[in-house]
Chains A and B, each alone.
Chain A
């Protein structure tokens, strides 16, 4: 077979000593083509663009190639450069244009900018923002996304480095994508079927004026580039391969991969911040600016990405398509997503074009889209986020309600009922997949800390304990922080189980914070974004220490998997009870709530929660279809009797009554 050689695979001229020809405008970024690399970059306000090439690690460029006027189509500059050794190449762009900050233009020809479409950045050292050309071929074998129904997900939110960086992790490449691969058997054992990775695209780890450390990664630098320092092979510039390998292995285990993506701001900050990419490329297009050229700050980090500008919209879409199509990622969680619904002047839009584009995009059609439906400037859209019947939301009201119930607040029983059946007050027309339920997330207390601290303890963050949420609805169970008081510890153990059980028996998509199943603590720090150390790394010795809690969580997840009625169903499949069967007590002083979820057959579950400090004896409804009640879980019981293997639940001796202990949750099932 002869291969037809393309007729444009030859240079037409030389620039700065390099053979080149006019490039192709699409795709944007640096793409390998026969014999060379096609570089394509756009800027609506630039007057000139120069491609700057470096031999890797060298301070001075090996060549600067100005884009000739004839290589430009519209505002897109494209050039194919031949004969480059792409594996030892670093590149960037020098862009000139008006220097009129009061009109929004901040061009600076002294800066060499990273390519916003770069698939790789160098990622470390003094030249960490330089772009690199990725080899994008990969052996996916027969990789297929698990394509789990959205409502069947059990999401596990984790930090790639923190999950295995601790010496106790026992993996061969701690703190990396490859390290996470080694922990897949653990995830399988726990039973989660979806991981949500906190930001894995290149961010600036030093972006923090208080401690000099940004651990979480909500500070994006390279949107298309998997973080090199999360790859054991980052030094060999194989982070793209290592990341894809992680996705492939998770898929083999039936586990979906969601990425936490940050499109609300960048690491460039405000006028005082560095010029890394967008700021020098086309500041007035990429950022929301006041009429006199200052940065709007809806993100709380200095700048706000101008997401609904048609150019930026296109960029975001290109980026998500890349992760979905090229990296096989199954969905996204959008950080501070309310910003994605704001217009160029910052005002919320009724029909935000970006959110609509994502909802209807053909490549993203089957991918999960989850919004953190609020922002740092007070726009709170939980229940009202523009969803196009596609988007789901982090349900902040679920978190707040369950926490208040757990600590015994009065007047929340009615709302708890609503939250436990998928928050139909907000999502009735969208089904249970619309709500992502959670009690804890990376942002705030861990579950153990939620029951161990009344107050945040963020002194180590360097802001005099002023940072972090003040309204965490936490309760320390009698003593602040670490204690050896057995009564306090017993109550805390029960409260953690109560939270997990309510979460995993609620309709909607449950999300667990990694480590909560083995009692991870941050010693009361509820905003640990700035600590890359033992405070935030998962200590795997807890797996043994809290083996009881792990087993309990595993069983609760398995129970959910065994009972479709907990994941969805008609409103008529839920019946409410109180101390008396069929008589729920919705009054403000009630702390007891019970419900049957009846999906027919063996799929009938009775859930009772008592946040009162005294036990209550509840009259049980007659089990349907002549079956009998069996006990799946009772958080008042000592382990391992706190939960049974689903399918092997022992029958209840007394079929007409159930005593629910002080601050306890119990679950029955029919057989």
Chain B
């Protein structure tokens, strides 16, 4: 049930490493962090997901939240997305302007 995250901002890129379960209770924390990143004028967001064990529909919504908060044309990259999570994101159309690696 635990969830941790850590942000590192270098230049205009914010990298956030997520671990544990991203669900309705942890999603607001991630949104707060994304808001902070936007306050630091980042134009690129990289989410490291390889230590994420679970991503609920509320978690998937964070991607839209980030997309809407970041300046137009910003890139969001997901790294280490588990295939089934990537599939869910794609099939529900949440992959708009998101790069999955």
Contact = CB atoms under 8 A, between A and B. Distances in A.
Contacts of B88: 233, 236, 238
B94 A241 contact: yes
A154 B24 CA distance: 42
A464 B67 CA distance: 58
Interface in A233-270: 233, 236-238, 241-242, 245, 248-249
Contacts of B24: 85-87
Nearest to B85: A236
Contacts of A176: 91
A135 interface: yes
B82 interface: no
A238 B92 contact: yes
Give the interface SS of chain A, mostly helix, strand, loop or mixed.
loop
Contact of A139 (B23, B25, B64, B87): B64
Give chain B's interface residue range (CB within 8 Å of chain A).
10 to 19
B80 to A, nearest CB: 19
Contacts of A238: 57, 60, 88, 92
Given A87-B24, A87-B56, A232 B61 contact: no
Give chain A's interface residue range (CB within 8 Å of chain B).
20 to 34
A236 B23 contact: no
Interface in B9-47: 23-25
Contact of A85 (B23, B87, B92, B96): B23
Nearest to A236: B88
A242 B95 CA distance: 12
B93 A241 contact: yes
A232 B60 CA distance: 15
Given A135-B58, A139-B64, A236-B56, A85 B25 contact: yes
A173 B93 CA distance: 13
A135 B91 contact: no
Given A85-B24, A135-B58, A233 B92 contact: yes
Contacts of B25: 85
B58 A241 contact: no
B93 A87 contact: no
A249 B93 CA distance: 9
A630 B24 CA distance: 64
Interface in B50-92: 56-58, 60-61, 64, 67-68, 87-88, 91-92
A241 B57 contact: yes
Contact of B96 (A135, A139, A236): A139
A106 B18 CA distance: 52
Contacts of A139: 64, 67-68, 93-94, 96
Nearest to A176: B91
A485 interface: no
A178 interface: yes
A137 B64 CA distance: 10
A390 B71 CA distance: 45
A236 B64 CA distance: 18
Contacts of A249: 93
B26 to A, nearest CB: 11
A190 to B, nearest CB: 23
B83 to A, nearest CB: 12
**From B25, B88, B93, residue with most partner A Cβ within 10 Å:** B93
Contacts of A248: 93
A173 B91 contact: yes
B69 to A, nearest CB: 13
B87 A232 contact: yes
A178 B91 contact: yes
A242 B91 CA distance: 7
A245 B25 CA distance: 25
A85 B59 CA distance: 13
A141 B94 CA distance: 11
A616 B72 CA distance: 66
Contacts of B67: 139
B61 A137 contact: yes
A245 B91 CA distance: 8
A137 B62 CA distance: 11
A265 B96 CA distance: 40
A86 B61 CA distance: 14
Contacts of A86: 24
A173 B86 CA distance: 13
A24 B64 CA distance: 29
A79 B60 CA distance: 29
Nearest to A141: B96
B92 A241 contact: yes
A233 B93 CA distance: 11
Contacts of B64: 139
Contact of A245 (B61, B87, B92): B92
Interface of A: 85-87, 135, 137, 139, 141, 172-173, 176, 178, 232-233, 236-238, 241-242, 245, 248-249
6 contacts: A87-B56, A137-B61, A139-B93, A139-B96, A232-B87, A233-B92
Given A241-B92, A241-B93, A248-B93, 17 more contacts: A85-B23, A85-B24, A86-B24, A87-B56, A135-B61, A137-B61, A139-B68, A173-B91, A178-B92, A232-B87, A236-B56, A237-B57, A238-B60, A238-B88, A241-B94, A242-B91, A242-B92
The 7 closest A-B pairs by CB, nearest first: A245-B93, A178-B91, A241-B92, A139-B64, A87-B56, A232-B91, A238-B57
